[in-house]
Amino acid sequence: MPDDHGYFGDYGGAMVPPALEKAIADVDRAYREIRNDPDFRKELLDLYKHYVGRPSPVFYAKRLSDHLGGAKIYLKREDLNHTGAHKINHAIGEALLAKYMGKAKVVAETGAGQHGVAMATACALVGIDCEIHMGQIDIEKEAPNVTRMKILGCKVVAVTRGTKTLKDAVDSAFEAYLSDPDSQLYAIGSVVGPHPFPMMVRDFQQIIGEEARDQFQEMTGRLPDYLMACVGGGSNAIGLFTAFLQDESVNIIGIEPAGKGLDTPDHAATLTLGKPGAVHGFKCYVLQDDAGEPLPVHSIASGLDYPGVGPQHSYLKDIGRIEYQSATDQECLDAFMTLSRKEGIIPALESAHAVAGAIKLAPQLSKNQSILINLSGRGDKDIDFVVRQLNL
């Protein structure tokens, strides 16, 4: 999957303005040319190894597991990648694609600033210009990432319209791309947007699960009983899950942000409470009003507050292969502190949602069972915010 038109069942596709149809078709063609090209694969895998620091380790979180008194918890340490999150995996892929296509510039949006930093990094590495659109609220919340992007030579565009967060940053970046699609590549930061992006970003992220499956088997002689990952757009989750989709014994759970509670409007639990619809040029579950317009969403984790979700996740929910649960802002903060104090690992607020999911599940399981969490990023970017929230 997807099919030739970019559909995962009923979800996906490429519904773009006529002015962009050719540009998107060009990206699709270029990606198909390089996707299995041995030289491209070698360049990408060499950079994963020598630049990103892959493979990232799998770590048995013994003190956390003992504390919860149930299943053994393992962490896939994407937080240890260069730039501190899984996003560098697809950023390098997209920057190499831009270079292959002869583009002068990459344009993109960012939520928590992680995709922006990853893209700015990859563009510096590959030698191409980078322009990042970011909501004003996120700019204030994630100031260190804004500074990083500037140091890396990237132009940061502040988005002050609408919710001043990720959704409006996407609209703004899309417009910038539309102004000159020939000389730019629009580098999407998750498994969302029009085809081929959900497929392409998934392909660049699936290294996570390929490594983790081998590493976990080597450590334990078995497969994990449960996988858990946070789901914003869904890239780190699908990156871990893809290698295990055929393993029927492996239960797969995605954790969405329940924000201030699923019974309030302030959440971003798209698969849990959304309905099939369309957003940003593709079909997926969407948190929408009666007219089909995307609703304002909220999460304590900037990287998770998006009213849509990847089309493949939408499909995997419908066929029942993946279960989607949620964790609130408060559960996320508790998990953030628990992992920090039990293991000496400060997780990103996004990743802390997955940890929160495991904290709820582990006590219900036996010591012979295991949960493998994708720890998608490190929490350095969030420490000042958390200290203010908790009055530490």
The answer to the question of residue 304 lying near ligand PLP (CB under 6 A) is yes
If one counts every other C-beta atom within 10 angstroms of the C-beta of residue 83, the result is 21
In 36-77, which residue ranges form alpha helices assigned H by DSSP? 38-47, 62-68
Q: Which 42-101 positions form the footprint of ligand PLP (CB under 6 A)?
A: 85, 87
The site that binds ligand PLP (CB under 6 A) totals a number of residues, namely: 20
Shortest Å, Cβ 39 to ligand PLP = 28
Residue nearer to ligand PLP on the CB measure, 70 or 197: 197
Catalytic residue flag (residue 179)? no
CB nearer to ligand PLP: give 89 or 215: 89
Q: Quick check: 103 and 128 in contact, CB under 8 A?
A: yes
Residue nearest to ligand PLP (CB): 377
Cβ neighbours for 299, distance < 8 A, ≥ 6 positions apart: 232, 257, 259, 267, 268, 305, 329
Examine residue 12 and tell whether it contacts ligand PLP (CB under 6 A): no
The one catalytic residue in 56, 72, 78, 109 is: 109
Which lies closer to ligand PLP via its Cβ, residue 156 or residue 365?
Answer: 156
In this complex, which beta carbon is closest to ligand PLP, that of residue 297 or of residue 365? 297
Alpha helices (runs of H) in the chain, residue ranges in sequence order: 18-35, 38-47, 62-68, 87-100, 114-126, 136-141, 143-151, 166-179, 197-205, 207-220, 235-241, 270-273, 311-318, 329-343, 349-361, 383-390
Q: Is 5 helix (H, G, I), strand (E, B) or coil?
A: coil
Mark the segment that binds ligand PLP (CB under 6 A) among 42-50, 177-185, 235-243, 327-335.
Answer: 235-243
Site string for ligand PLP, 102-141 (x = CB under 6 A): ----------x-x---------------------------
Does position 377 interact with ligand PLP (CB under 6 A)? The reply is yes
> Strands 282-286, 275-279: parallel, antiparallel or unpaired by DSSP?
antiparallel
Verify binding: residue 308, ligand PLP, rule CB under 6 A: no
Among 47, 351, 361, 370, binds ligand PLP (CB under 6 A): 351
Site string for ligand PLP, 205-234 (x = CB under 6 A): -------------------------xxxxx
User: In DSSP terms, which residues pair with 133 in a beta bridge?
Assistant: 109, 157
* Residue 172 binds ligand PLP (CB under 6 A): no
- Among 348, 344, 333, 302, CA closest to 79: 348
Q: Determine, following the binding rule CB under 6 A, whether residue 255 of this chain makes contact with ligand PLP.
A: no
Pick the catalytic residue from 72, 76, 87, 167: 87
* 99 belongs to the catalytic site: no
* Alpha carbons 30 and 34: distance in angstroms, whole number: 6
Strand order in the sheet with 58-60: 58-60, 72-77, 370-375, 226-230, 251-259, 322-328
- For position 303 contacting ligand PLP by CB under 6 A, the verdict is yes
Strands 72-77 and 58-60 turn out to be antiparallel
How many whole angstroms separate alpha carbon 223 and alpha carbon 213? 7
Only segment of 125-133, 211-219, 329-337, 345-353 that touches ligand PLP (CB under 6 A):
345-353
Is 302 known to be catalytic?
A: no
Which of 349, 348, 353 shows the shortest CA–CA distance to 378? 348
Which of 294, 376, 382, 386 is in the footprint of ligand PLP by CB under 6 A?
376
- Is residue 58 within 8 Å of 74, Cβ to Cβ? yes
The contact set with ligand PLP (CB under 6 A) reads 85, 87, 112, 114, 190, 230-237, 303-304, 348, 350-351, 376-377
Cite the active site residues: 87, 109, 376
